[in-house]
């Protein structure tokens, strides 16, 4: 039995670790992208409020929501008898993103009094750097970084994972390449978000138009590979920032955030969101980990935003519990 101590002394047990391991410098350290608060045994975390305010409540423990169209079944059938534990394989390239995913996993899986499913985690930040090497051929099957990700996926499969998930949003731009040949469900963040958008039954802001979904990302790779085709195939109209907005608002917001200029980052992000909302976007997907911690929790604009990690976590719980049952 191995235990991981998360910030502020929250401990997740029943988990195993898969190399390479990442050392957390002290249990009291607060990661900049983790905004959860722990009050004794009470856990709270910011979620996407608009997705939960639907006509019906999506219960992650209910196996009927794991249908054939879900992201958990896109990788093809698998032999559940060899993965009876319902163990989640977490494949990360950022300690902060992995910890934020695990915080949300604890929050969503314990809301109904159940225990958090067991998980195995592999975190290697060097792979992400290799993906964006200038000489890297991102679309090639011979890409060394993609090869390493596929190898880590295989290690998680062989370690008993019943499903596999990548906490880093940007990695999902190469979901199809990494998940090819996977023997267990390999969850896709775009499919998870699409599933919840369809369940929310939004009404168009403008009469006679389709429901419009705004996408706020830092590059076109994420928008195109993860969301564009999936949303448009289901009748959603996609709204993205134009070139001028990207150059003068969106990217400067990320730059200010990374430099620690929170006031500047908040002002710019609020402008970026408003520019999408005035174009009649019903909801906006924050398709970058950099965006989710810029605005304060009480900012009304967050009610129009989706953190894709919430949808990914909820589908992960459904998948893990379905296998266990």
Read out DSSP for 292-308? TTTS-TT-GGGGGEE-H
Residue 178 has pLDDT above 80, yes or no: yes
For helices 262-277 and 251-258, angle between their N-to-C axes, nearest 10 degrees = 160
User: Which of these ranges, 9-18, 73-82, 179-188, 236-245, has the smallest mean pLDDT?
Assistant: 9-18
Same-domain check for residues 201 and 286: yes
305-315 pLDDT, tens digit per residue, is 999 999 999 99
Same-domain check for residues 99 and 202: no
Residue in the block written with tokens 């520019």: 275
pTM, to two decimals: 0.74
Residue 216 has pLDDT above 70, yes or no: yes
Same-domain check for residues 233 and 275: yes
Same-domain check for residues 152 and 215: no
Integer Cα distance of 30 and 36 in angstroms:
10
Same-domain check for residues 179 and 283: no
Same-domain check for residues 161 and 255: no
The encoded tokens of residue 131 equal: 């993906």
Same-domain check for residues 302 and 319: no
Q: Residues for the chain: how many in total? A: 325
Q: What is the CATH number of the domain that holds 299?
A: 3.40.50.1860
Same-domain check for residues 174 and 233: no
3-state SS, one letter per residue, for 87-120 = CEEEEECCHHHHHHHHHHHHHHHCCCCCCCCCEE
Q: Give percent of the chain with pLDDT exceeding 70.
A: 70
1-42 pLDDT, tens digit per residue, is 333 434 333 333 344 434 343 333 333 333 333 343 333 333
Same-domain check for residues 261 and 228: yes
Could you give the number of structural domains in the chain? 2
Integer Cα distance of 14 and 4 in angstroms:
9
Handedness of CA 24, 29, 35, 38 (dihedral sign): positive
Q: What DSSP character marks residue 5? A: E
Same-domain check for residues 27 and 117: yes
- Sequence-distant (≥ 6) Cβ neighbours of residue 254 within 8 angstroms: 218, 265, 288, 290, 291
- Answer for the pair 100, 290: CB distance below 8 angstroms, yes or no: no
- Answer for the pair 51, 311: CB distance below 8 angstroms, yes or no: yes
Residue, of 220 and 13, whose pLDDT is higher: 220
Integer Cα distance of 212 and 235 in angstroms:
9
User: Which of these ranges, 44-58, 76-90, 271-285, has the smallest mean pLDDT?
Assistant: 44-58
The encoded tokens of residue 109 equal: 């899986």
Angle (CA) 162 167 171, round 5°: 105
Same-domain check for residues 233 and 131: no
Angle (CA) 319 92 228, round 5°: 70
Q: What DSSP character marks residue 266? A: H
The encoded tokens of residue 279 equal: 């174009």
- Average pLDDT of span 122-136: 75
Integer Cα distance of 131 and 135 in angstroms:
9
pLDDT of 98 reads: 93
Same-domain check for residues 116 and 178: yes
The encoded tokens of residue 237 equal: 């109209």
- Could you list the residue range(s) of the whole structural domain that residue 295 is in? 192-308
């Amino acid at each position: 039995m191995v235990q991981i101590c998360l910030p502020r002394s929250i401990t997740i047990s029943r988990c195993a670790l898969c190399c390479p391991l990442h050392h957390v410098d002290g249990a009291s350290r607060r990661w900049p992208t983790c905004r959860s608060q722990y009050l004794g045994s009470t856990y709270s975390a910011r979620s996407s409020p608009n997705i939960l305010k639907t006509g019906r409540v999506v219960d992650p423990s209910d196996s009927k929501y794991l249908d054939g169209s879900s992201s958990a079944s896109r990788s093809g059938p698998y032999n559940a008898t060899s993965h009876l534990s319902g163990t989640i394989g977490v494949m990360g390239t950022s300690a902060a993103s992995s910890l934020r995913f695990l915080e949300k996993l604890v929050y969503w899986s314990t809301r109904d009094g159940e225990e958090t499913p067991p998980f195995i985690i592999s975190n290697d930040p060097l792979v992400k750097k290799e993906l964006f090497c200038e000489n890297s051929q991102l679309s090639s099957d011979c890409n060394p970084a993609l090869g390493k990700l596929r190898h880590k996926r295989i290690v998680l499969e062989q370690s008993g994972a019943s499903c596999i998930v990548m906490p880093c949003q940007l990695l999902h731009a190469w979901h199809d390449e990494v998940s090819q040949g996977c023997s267990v469900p390999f969850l896709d963040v775009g499919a998870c978000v699409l599933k919840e958008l369809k369940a929310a039954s939004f009404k168009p802001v403008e009469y006679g138009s389709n429901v419009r979904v705004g996408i706020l990302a830092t590059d076109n790779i994420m928008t195109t590979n993860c969301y564009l085709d999936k949303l448009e195939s289901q009748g959603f109209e996609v709204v993205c920032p134009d070139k001028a907005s990207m150059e003068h608002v969106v990217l400067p917001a990320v730059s200010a955030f990374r430099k620690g200029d929170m006031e500047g980052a908040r002002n710019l992000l609020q402008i970026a969101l408003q520019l999408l909302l005035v174009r009649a976007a019903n909801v906006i997907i924050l398709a970058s980990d950099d965006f989710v911690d810029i605005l304060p929790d009480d900012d009304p604009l967050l009610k129009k935003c989706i953190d894709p990690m919430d949808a990914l976590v909820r589908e992960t719980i459904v998948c893990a519990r379905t296998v266990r049952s």
